[in-house]
Amino acid sequence: MTTPALSRRDLDFLLYEWLDVTGLTTRPRFEEHSKDTFDAVLDLCADMATKQFAPHNKKSDANEPTMRPDGTVELIPEVKEALDVFGRAGLVAGQFDESLGGMQLPTVVARAAFAWFQAANASTSSYAFLTVGNANLIVAHGSQELIDTYVRPMLEGRYFGTMCLSEPQAGSSLADITTRAEPQEDGSYRLTGTKMWISGGDHELSENIVHLVLAKIPGGPAGVKGISLFVVPKVLPDGEGGLGERNDVTLVGLNHKMGNRGTTNTLLNFGDGTHTPGGRAGAVGHLVGEPNKGLSYMFHMMNEARIGVGFLAISLGYAGYLQSVEYARTRTQGRAADDKDPTSPPVPLIRHADVRRMLLAQKAYVEGALALGLYCSKLVDEQDTATDAADSARATLLLDVLTPIAKSWPSQWCLEANSLAIQVHGGYGYTRDYDVEQFYRDNRLNPIHEGTHGVQGLDLLGRKVVMQGGAGLALLAETIGATVERARAAGGDAAGYADELSSALQRLVGTTQRLWADGDAAVALANSSIYLEAAGHIVIAWIWLEQVLAAAGADGDFYEGKRQAARFFYRYELPKAGPQLDLLDSLDRTTLDMEAAWF
Amino acid sequence: MTTPALSRRDLDFLLYEWLDVTGLTTRPRFEEHSKDTFDAVLDLCADMATKQFAPHNKKSDANEPTMRPDGTVELIPEVKEALDVFGRAGLVAGQFDESLGGMQLPTVVARAAFAWFQAANASTSSYAFLTVGNANLIVAHGSQELIDTYVRPMLEGRYFGTMCLSEPQAGSSLADITTRAEPQEDGSYRLTGTKMWISGGDHELSENIVHLVLAKIPGGPAGVKGISLFVVPKVLPDGEGGLGERNDVTLVGLNHKMGNRGTTNTLLNFGDGTHTPGGRAGAVGHLVGEPNKGLSYMFHMMNEARIGVGFLAISLGYAGYLQSVEYARTRTQGRAADDKDPTSPPVPLIRHADVRRMLLAQKAYVEGALALGLYCSKLVDEQDTATDAADSARATLLLDVLTPIAKSWPSQWCLEANSLAIQVHGGYGYTRDYDVEQFYRDNRLNPIHEGTHGVQGLDLLGRKVVMQGGAGLALLAETIGATVERARAAGGDAAGYADELSSALQRLVGTTQRLWADGDAAVALANSSIYLEAAGHIVIAWIWLEQVLAAAGADGDFYEGKRQAARFFYRYELPKAGPQLDLLDSLDRTTLDMEAAWF
């Protein structure tokens, strides 16, 4: 397809006209950067994604990875070719310190640039972004030796990384993992256990694979307080900068998924004796940081990973949106409602109001979600580089509150966008001749991994809006309130949206208080998914109002489109939160009272 | 999987405890029947679906039909084996007259029985149900010769049937079909043209394939008023009860779909000269009924087909619901919200409120949709066999209004049920090791074919609720009003639901009047899809209230489940119609005013 996977025009608007990303170059960390260097990275990534990643997206889906009899993984060759180009360009190191060979890009620019790869080829890009997340975590919490041994080759694109959390019996409930790590006399550990759903868990794309593994050191506390984090390489270093013997990490099987098929998703055995490093069974691992703090380290990365999942969902939604706009402009079918002459020529699909509804809904979802994702990414930059500690702390707090929404809202609504993209294509959209059915299948993963939709709801309502005495929700309300004030001052449609948003926000705050008023967690949390969805719609309404303000006074199709999409969101979408808040306010017990035997 | 594909208990409740299907046996057409014969058919179908259809459902999906170099179609052998068993049992003829070898089953019983096959294997069952629809149409509008030549072998399971409406350039807009039918001196026609999306359009499953083809006779009126209907067999009869030469109907290609893969979906050429019946090119066809009335005949069948699509969506939703209930009962994960002891054993998923929410939503969707589908099916029986002509006319009118909802509501919400079924399964649900991902892919077809979601909205708001001076909507309101009165008399929860339903219904009627008040079709119809969805939720709320009344006074898990699902629908679902009706009342122009260049 020649349709772009993302809109550079929209990215320019969001980054420069709204978020003032150029302003970050006054910070010491980004002082070598300028709008020109940001543009260069965005251009490079758009070009590389289009030329190296997009062309094999369908082929990768149709030819999913297979396990050879010798236990290695067969992938179509284009995957490695694309990732090699990505690695050689130094993009894995985009956000990292210059001292590690990185570009010190702001997170917000890196996310925008990398979204091109996610939109062009979700599966192939995942190998790279898992590696970035892995390296980031080791840099944050690992020793210099781990950084030198494992992070540097990852940043050079020679090693890839994974995150090994889930086990066959323990997914959402990490308290129940059973992988064990036995301390050794030399300070290392030997790991034994089975990990499930490990993306990129095995392949021949890189010289080595660096697994970050959650495991329990015997004798430690029960539950999540006894979880530690380990680096477990597929191949052990030889001590001279090269690779030595195989570690005892074995690919047991590949999962066969509905979508996202190009990313190997694996069942891995650690320490089953298939390999015998040092002459005996057991996967050699190295502790990251301190014992029993593994989950907190992993959550440091998980927040990034969750925003990353949001971007994956956004990118797939965006690619489908653009393809369906293009299709609706070129495919003709039927006539206007008031044209009764069957001999008049058929009109393009886009002339039908219901098709425009489906396109506007997609636009409102994907552009709203992208804006939220970039806003959160800029909060990461604020957190990391704000000159004032209080500003940094505020960014952290706001990011904490927004993360479950930045993960779940795109996963829900950009999937819906993909469904609408299929619908715009009609019967053709249901076939594999077009791309949108794959986007829909690929995107269905996103409400599941890195914390399910339900887990995000519990995180938001059970933790984020109540932590620090409700400071997070108060900060969100204050931040939205500031936008409301600006919008009221701006007048016009913005002022009307401000009133609607302000009213919805007050309801959300009131509902939150009501849910926790009597301290019954079971009742408060019974409908936490509904709370998550209502809060998500209110946050996206706020983000759309921000875009309206950023577009104020500007003329032309692009800005008219922004205003119309905002109007759509306020007319068609924000009101959906009303009945959800009504339900929450009623402290409804329907699901609590339902008995298993009644199903 | 050993989980049943449908619930016989629920079918018994709906058929016997609610719809009093046994009462139909007082009608002359059904006088040979009794509850015993109905039960026997239901048992037979459940058993055959489980043993012959379900086992190859996944295999059929993984091994989609391919076209051999000689132009024939390769399917896994289990498809033919299952359909042969189905045909030999005389099930194709289930609803047909005894004079044609049929069982004269009521439609409502036949639909319930056949849903077992749709739930067990949507793809394989489609061949059979397309044949039923085809035969039904020829019986209704075709000559005795066409019935004898084509319908009888279809009812015996020897011939299969198709519906050939769409062309590559004309799907929703049938006015633009270009297939031509040239009259011949012998009274037959020669057809030339290309048909797209023809399910079951070619295969080697049956001795012959009977295509029902829409085409235009040259010189006829433009648009839909010039469309005629033809029987075009794949193989021409030899005049002695056997098969003669190949007709000029050629398989050009198979469509490769996201789901529903076991049903061949074809691009067919008619009259391209690949075959030369009678020594020359052109597909031999026979006119059904009168010229230029083809679309009205086809719509007679299309209403059935649309309810059939609803049942397909329901069946897939139901199968996924039952599997996710079973999974949630057996899979353990995590602990209760108030259990802080990590050494306590994990609990079954079904103990978590959010999982019960996802199961209750599925239950409310699939049982509500099944009830509506069976209600509509009984209206078909009323229409066909009511002893009073006025009763028959009322059934027809109510069926006309409900058909777009009976098609679109299950297609939207039972697909959502399948998404929730995946979510309950977590990561496992996204893999092909479980069935639910296939149900989700299979079900995504249903909002597209036999009239898209948007087409159903235009049909409901643009035609059905305004025809005969609004008589259809008035009858629906009267019918729902009668339920409201009974529920108020019953008291308790039912009376509360009645008030909510009555209020929503009044709003719907008022909104309908407001939309058409100034006669601007473009404004009235701009949000017809939203109208369809709001009306659908109100209708399903009514159907749930009907079920509550049918369950009144009965104790036990099954009835408690019905009551709790109804409560869920009234608490979580019906309120969604509120903002939709608000939007419609505002005569919103957002989609109308959106310009193509703004996307």
Mean pLDDT, each 10-residue run in order, chain B (599 residues): 90 98 98 98 98 98 96 97 97 97 97 98 97 96 98 98 96 94 98 97 98 97 96 96 96 97 97 97 97 93 91 98 98 88 94 97 98 98 96 97 98 98 98 97 97 97 96 98 98 98 98 94 96 98 98 98 98 98 97 97
Q: A197: which chain B residues are within 8 Å (Cβ-Cβ)?
A: 427
What is the C-alpha to C-alpha distance for residues A403 and B202, in angstroms, rounded to an integer? 51
Beta-carbon separation of A429 and B448 below 8 A:
yes
Check: CB of residue A481 under 8 Å from CB of residue A446: no
Best residue of B256, B323, B442, B591 to probe chain A, by most A CBs closer than 10 Å: B591
A576 to chain B nearest CA, in Å? Answer: 6
Phi first, then psi: give them for residue A87, nearest 5 degrees: -65, -45
CA-based nearest residue in chain B for residue A226: B342
What is the C-alpha to C-alpha distance for residues A384 and B126, in angstroms, rounded to an integer? 58
Angle at CA of residue A332, ends A326 and A336, nearest 5°: 115
Q: Which of A196, A348, A564 sits opposite B598 (nearest CB)?
A: A564
Helix axis angle, A353-385 relative to A557-568, nearest 10°? 100
Provide the terminal-to-terminal Cα distance of chain B, rounded to the nearest Å.
Answer: 46
CA-based nearest residue in chain A for residue B226: A342
Residue A309, both tokens: 């999942």
Interstrand relation of B227-233 and A73-74 (parallel, antiparallel or unpaired)? unpaired
- Dump strand ranges (E) for A7-101: 66-67, 73-74
Check: CB of residue B89 under 8 Å from CB of residue B95: no
What is the C-alpha to C-alpha distance for residues B361 and B419, in angstroms, rounded to an integer? 11
Question: Could you tell me how far CA A177 lies from the centroid of its own chain?
Answer: 24
Q: In this complex, how many residue pairs, one in chain A and one in chain B, have their CB atoms less than 8 Å apart?
A: 270
CA-based nearest residue in chain B for residue A166: B427
Cβ-in-10-Å burial (0-12, 13-18, 19+) of B482 comes to exposed
What is the C-alpha to C-alpha distance for residues B398 and B123, in angstroms, rounded to an integer? 30
B38 SS3 class: helix
What is the C-alpha to C-alpha distance for residues A350 and A355, in angstroms, rounded to an integer? 6
Check: CB of residue A470 under 8 Å from CB of residue A343: no
Kind plus residue range of the DSSP H or E element containing B98: none
- The amino acid at B377: S
Check: CB of residue B396 under 8 Å from CB of residue B383: yes
Cβ-in-10-Å burial (0-12, 13-18, 19+) of B169 comes to middle
- Write the DSSP symbol of residue B431: B
Spatial CB neighbours of A506, under 8 Å, sequence gap ≥ 6: none
Angle at CA of residue B461, ends B460 and B467, nearest 5°: 80
Beta bridge partners of B161: B210
Phi first, then psi: give them for residue A558, nearest 5 degrees: -60, -45
Check: CB of residue B215 under 8 Å from CB of residue B177: yes
Long-range contacts: A23-29, Cβ < 8 Å, 24+?
A24/A106, A24/A108, A24/A378, A24/A381, A24/A385, A27/A385, A27/A387, A28/A385, A29/A104, A29/A384, A29/A385
Beta-carbon separation of B448 and A437 below 8 A:
no
pTM for the predicted model, two decimal places: 0.98
Q: Which of A176, A579, A592 sits opposite B575 (nearest CB)?
A: A579
Q: Tell me which residue has tokens 């969604």.
A: B576
Q: Which of A342, A521, A592 sits opposite B222 (nearest CB)?
A: A342
Rg for chain A (alpha carbons), in Å?
24
Spatial CB neighbours of A579, under 8 Å, sequence gap ≥ 6: B575, B576, B578, B579
Q: Which of B224, B526, B599 sits opposite A353 (nearest CB)?
A: B526
- The pLDDT score that the predictor gives to residue A187 is 97
Beta-carbon separation of B350 and A447 below 8 A:
no
Provide the terminal-to-terminal Cα distance of chain A, rounded to the nearest Å.
Answer: 46
Q: A432: which chain B residues are within 8 Å (Cβ-Cβ)?
A: 256-258
- The amino acid at A531: Y
Best residue of B363, B590, B595 to probe chain A, by most A CBs closer than 10 Å: B590
If we measure between CA atoms, which residue out of B453, B430, B255, B421 comes closest to residue A443?
Answer: B430
CA-based nearest residue in chain B for residue A593: B564
Q: Tell me which residue has tokens 């009101």.
A: A575
If we measure between CA atoms, which residue out of B357, B367, B362, B359 comes closest to residue B329?
Answer: B359
CA-based nearest residue in chain A for residue B331: A169
Q: B353: which chain A residues are within 8 Å (Cβ-Cβ)?
A: 522, 525-527, 591-592
CB-based burial, B260-292: b 16+ in 10 Å, e otherwise: bbbbbbbbbbbbbeebebbeeebbbbbbbbebb
Beta-carbon separation of A557 and B595 below 8 A:
yes
What is the C-alpha to C-alpha distance for residues B81 and B85, in angstroms, rounded to an integer? 6
Best residue of A13, A590, A593 to probe chain B, by most B CBs closer than 10 Å: A590
Check: CB of residue B381 under 8 Å from CB of residue B367: no
A63 to chain B nearest CA, in Å? Answer: 13
B229 SS3 class: strand
CA-based nearest residue in chain B for residue A415: B419
Spatial CB neighbours of A31, under 8 Å, sequence gap ≥ 6: A25
Check: CB of residue B304 under 8 Å from CB of residue B232: no
What is the C-alpha to C-alpha distance for residues B57 and B261, in angstroms, rounded to an integer? 10
Residue extents of the structural domains in chain B: 452-589
B166 to chain A nearest CA, in Å? Answer: 10
Cα distances (angstroms) measured from residue B262 to each of A480, B78, B155? 51, 11, 22
Beta-carbon separation of B561 and A598 below 8 A:
yes
B199 to chain A nearest CA, in Å? Answer: 12
Beta-carbon separation of B575 and A598 below 8 A:
no
Beta-carbon separation of A197 and B342 below 8 A:
no
CA trace torsion A379, A380, A385, A386 (10° rounding): 30
Q: B530: which chain A residues are within 8 Å (Cβ-Cβ)?
A: 572
Residue B359, both tokens: 């199961």
What is the C-alpha to C-alpha distance for residues A251 and A230, in angstroms, rounded to an integer? 18
- Write the DSSP symbol of residue B158: S
Task: Spot the catalytic one: B304, B450, B533, B546.
Answer: B450
Spatial CB neighbours of B80, under 8 Å, sequence gap ≥ 6: B204, B205
Q: Tell me which residue has tokens 């009668």.
A: B482
Check: CB of residue A441 under 8 Å from CB of residue A412: no
Q: Which of A333, A360, A598 sits opposite B172 (nearest CB)?
A: A333
Beta-carbon separation of B360 and A444 below 8 A:
no
Kind plus residue range of the DSSP H or E element containing B64: none
- Write the DSSP symbol of residue B588: -
Best residue of A354, A412, A567, A581 to probe chain B, by most B CBs closer than 10 Å: A354
- The pLDDT score that the predictor gives to residue A300 is 79
B58 to chain A nearest CA, in Å? Answer: 13
What count of other Cβ atoms lies within 10 Å of the Cβ of residue A185? 5
CA-based nearest residue in chain A for residue B529: A354
Beta-carbon separation of A529 and B354 below 8 A:
yes
Mean pLDDT by 10 residues, chain A (599 residues): 90 98 98 98 98 98 96 97 97 97 97 98 97 96 98 98 96 94 98 97 98 97 96 96 96 97 97 97 97 93 91 98 98 88 94 97 98 98 96 97 98 98 98 97 97 97 96 98 98 98 98 94 96 98 98 98 98 98 97 97
A143 to chain B nearest CA, in Å? Answer: 30
If we measure between CA atoms, which residue out of A165, A154, A136 comes closest to residue A230?
Answer: A165
Q: Which of B355, B454, B590 sits opposite A567 (nearest CB)?
A: B590
Best residue of B7, B354, B411 to probe chain A, by most A CBs closer than 10 Å: B354
Spatial CB neighbours of B344, under 8 Å, sequence gap ≥ 6: B335
If we measure between CA atoms, which residue out of B111, B132, B93 comes closest to residue B14?
Answer: B111
CA-based nearest residue in chain B for residue A222: B342
Interstrand relation of A159-164 and A208-216 (parallel, antiparallel or unpaired)? parallel
Interstrand relation of A235-237 and B66-67 (parallel, antiparallel or unpaired)? unpaired
Q: Which of A196, A256, A441 sits opposite B258 (nearest CB)?
A: A441
Check: CB of residue B591 under 8 Å from CB of residue A353: yes
Beta-carbon separation of A334 and B454 below 8 A:
no
Cβ-in-10-Å burial (0-12, 13-18, 19+) of B341 comes to exposed
Active site residue ranges of A: 450
Beta-carbon separation of B173 and A346 below 8 A:
yes
Q: A404: which chain B residues are within 8 Å (Cβ-Cβ)?
A: none
Angle at CA of residue A203, ends A200 and A208, nearest 5°: 90
B511 SS3 class: helix
If we measure between CA atoms, which residue out of B116, B161, B455 comes closest to residue B301?
Answer: B161
Rg for chain B (alpha carbons), in Å?
24
Q: A529: which chain B residues are within 8 Å (Cβ-Cβ)?
A: 354, 357
Beta-carbon separation of B426 and A176 below 8 A:
no
What is the C-alpha to C-alpha distance for residues A364 and A359, in angstroms, rounded to an integer? 9
What sign does the dihedral B391-B394-B396-B399 (CA atoms) show? negative
